[in-house]
């Protein structure tokens, strides 16, 4: 995308159905994934709509999505689009940090999710899965929406903050985290600082969490030399260009930001993967066969053995095509943009929809059909569950490793069946992160 030239440029086409003052808010809130697909089919590559006063341009198709994802923060700012996260992550953290500090913080966050740390995380996750299934017995029925939220909370606190925290403080953490999540409801995107009980609870939770994490940081600084293998260790060791370390506030912010990026995305995907494994019998039989060939009764699931499980990977990738947890990615336009002769003015929001992109029939024929063997699209930026460009998901490898560890352990031991009629297992569009509508009940039985 280039900066606007002096020649007059066209403006993006406007989506029909705008209402006075609220614009398209009502239709957007009712089912934003479907609304975004309507925008694209009505207006094409660039479609402008009104989100309660905020003009927003949806960019669709691989070329426009590539331009969106590759344009740097100075022109298309995430910070300006995600200001609601500031009181949750903390003052001076990520989207509230000056650009050089934000870059350094993101690098430290990425370092905590690097390959070298993954071995320890995979051991932690496999152990958590074993503890989780230990009292399942031979058969039963569970709401897996709840189950995966709990399991991934345990794996996340364990990998992020270490074993002691996981064992002693997960319950308090769960409550604090819940209050932080409530502080990110839609209203927070209008003004996250208004007088509201949910925002007071958010601020209290944020302060308490910093107290808890500050306590561990102090302990660890006094015991330097001990290896913990968790993400907190990397956050504490990380430095800015001048050699200074992150403050307790900044470290707490990175913990919260990593939790927000990874928790619901992982639990929603795990729930959808299990649901699809239960209903796509033909393909799940292939996956089971593959897992049986890789692991016998007594073999341990290790980091090395998790590296290549191609059929399971393709299955999860197809789950992520149909049910991408982050449907809508947003940026605020800082400088006027000329996109192929159309002007997108500074001050507007631009957005891309992974959900819509994954249903583009040019790249995914018969898009609603679950088919892990469908050919990959011959163009980049059509399949974008993890985004792309400079801010592509930092937890991509972690997320895939965790999903493989879960299903490599579950599938050879149990078979799963839907409890309710097939058509009741639907995407739930009421939250920012996509998940199956609850409850998501499945029956399991030992093989
Ligand atoms: C299936 C699971 C996941 C999906 C589908 C997913 C998807 C995404 C997407 C689409 C983005 C880009 C957002 C944007 O461009 O605005 C992103 C960013 C990010 N994700 Fe994930 N994510 C997943 C799991 C995780 C996990 C488990 C972690 C951490 C443990 C994580 C950490 C991050 C971080 C730190 C970023 C921001 C990167 C940056 O700003 O440079 N994600 N994720």
- Residue 71: CATH number of its domain: 1.10.630.10
Average of per-residue pLDDT across 19-32: 88
Looking at the CA of residue 385, tell me the nearest atom of ligand 1. Answer: 5
Question: Which of 259, 265, 266 most suits a substitution to test ligand 1, by most atoms within 8 Å of the C-beta?
Answer: 265
Question: Residue 11 has what DSSP assignment?
Answer: -
Q: Is the CB of 65 under 6 A from ligand 1?
A: no
| C-alpha of residue 266 to centroid of ligand 1, in Å | 10
pLDDT digits (tens, 9 = 90+) for 118-146: 989 999 999 999 999 999 999 999 999 99
Q: H-helix or E-strand containing 182?
A: helix 163-182
Q: How far is CA 350 from CA 5, 335, 425, in A?
A: 19, 12, 31
Catalogue the long-range contacts made by 108-111 (C-beta closer than 8 Å, 24 or more residues apart). 108/234, 108/235, 108/238, 108/246, 108/254, 109/235, 109/254, 109/257, 109/258, 109/394, 110/394, 111/234, 111/238
The rounded distance, in Å, linking the Cα atoms of 143 and 179 is 23
Check whether 94 has a pLDDT greater than 90.
Answer: yes
Quick one: pLDDT band at residue 224, thresholds 50, 70, 90?
confident
Q: 431 C-alpha to center of ligand 1: Å?
A: 17
Supply the mean pLDDT for the chain.
92
For residue 316 and ligand 1, the question of a CB distance below 6 A is answered with no
Query: With bands split at pLDDT 50, 70 and 90, how would you rate the model's confidence at 299?
Result: low
pTM of the full predicted structure?
Answer: 0.94
Sign for the pseudo-dihedral over CA of 403, 405, 406, 410: positive
Overall number of domains in the chain: 1
Decide whether any atom of ligand 1 lies within 6 Å of the 253 Cβ: no
The residue written with tokens 């494994």 in the block is 277
Determine whether the shortest distance from the Cβ of 259 to ligand 1 is under 6 A. no
Which of 393, 403, 404, 435 to probe ligand 1 with, by most ligand atoms within 8 A of CB?
393
Domain that holds residue 205: 2-446
Ligand 1 atom closest to residue 113's alpha carbon, by position in its atom list: 30
Going by alpha carbons, the residue nearest to atom 24 of ligand 1 is 262
Determine the atom of ligand 1 nearest the C-alpha atom of 320: 5
Indicate the SS3 state at residue 389. Answer: helix
Q: How far is CA 75 from the centre of its chain?
A: 24
Between 85-89, 116-120, 276-280, 374-378, the lowest mean confidence (pLDDT) is in 116-120
In the structure encoding, which two tokens stand for residue 331, read together?
A: 């940026």
Centroid of ligand 1 to alpha carbon of 391 (angstroms): 8
């Amino acid at each position: 995308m280039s900066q606007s030239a002096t020649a007059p440029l066209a403006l993006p086409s406007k989506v029909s159905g705008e209402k006075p003052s609220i614009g398209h808010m009502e239709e957007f809130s009712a089912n934003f994934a479907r609304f975004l697909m309507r925008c694209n089919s009505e207006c094409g590559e660039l479609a402008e709509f009104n989100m309660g006063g905020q003009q927003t341009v949806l960019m669709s198709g691989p070329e426009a999505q590539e331009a969106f994802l590759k344009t740097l923060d100075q022109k298309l700012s995430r910070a300006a689009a995600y200001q609601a996260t500031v009181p949750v992550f903390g003052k001076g953290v990520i989207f509230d940090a000056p650009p050089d500090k934000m870059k350094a913080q993101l690098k430290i966050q990425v370092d905590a999710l690097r390959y070298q740390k993954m071995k320890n995380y995979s051991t932690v996750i496999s152990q958590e899965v074993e503890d989780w299934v230990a009292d399942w017995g031979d058969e039963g029925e569970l709401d897996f929406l709840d189950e995966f939220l709990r399991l991934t909370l345990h794996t996340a606190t364990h990998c992020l903050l270490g074993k002691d925290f996981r064992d002693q403080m997960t319950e308090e953490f769960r409550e604090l985290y819940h209050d932080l999540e409530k502080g990110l409801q839609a209203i927070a995107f209008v003004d996250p600082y208004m007088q509201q009980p949910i925002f007071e609870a958010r601020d209290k939770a944020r302060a308490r969490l910093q107290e808890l994490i500050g306590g561990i940081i102090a302990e660890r600084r006094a015991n330097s030399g001990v290896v913990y293998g968790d993400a907190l260790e990397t956050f504490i060791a990380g430095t800015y260009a001048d050699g200074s370390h992150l403050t307790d506030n900044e470290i707490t912010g990175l913990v919260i930001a990593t939790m927000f990026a990874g928790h619901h995305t992982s639990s929603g995907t795990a729930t959808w993967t299990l649901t699809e494994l239960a209903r796509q019998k033909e393909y799940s039989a292939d996956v089971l066969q593959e897992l049986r060939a890789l692991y016998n009764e007594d073999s341990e699931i290790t980091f090395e053995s998790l590296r290549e499980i191609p059929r399971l990977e393709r299955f999860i990738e197809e789950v992520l095509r149909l049910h991408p947890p982050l449907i809508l990615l947003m940026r605020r336009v800082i400088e006027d943009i000329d996109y192929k002769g159309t002007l997108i003015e500074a001050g507007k929001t631009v957005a891309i929809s992974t959900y819509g992109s994954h249903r583009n029939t040019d790249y995914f024929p018969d898009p609603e059909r679950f088919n892990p063997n469908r050919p990959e699209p011959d163009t980049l930026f059509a399949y974008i569950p993890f985004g792309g460009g400079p801010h592509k998901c930092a937890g991509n490898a972690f997320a895939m490793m965790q999903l493989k560890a879960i299903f490599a352990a579950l599938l050879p031991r149990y078979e799963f069946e839907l409890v309710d009629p097939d058509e009741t297992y639907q995407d739930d569009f009421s939250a920012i992160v996509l998940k199956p509508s609850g409850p998501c009940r499945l029956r399991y039985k030992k093989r």
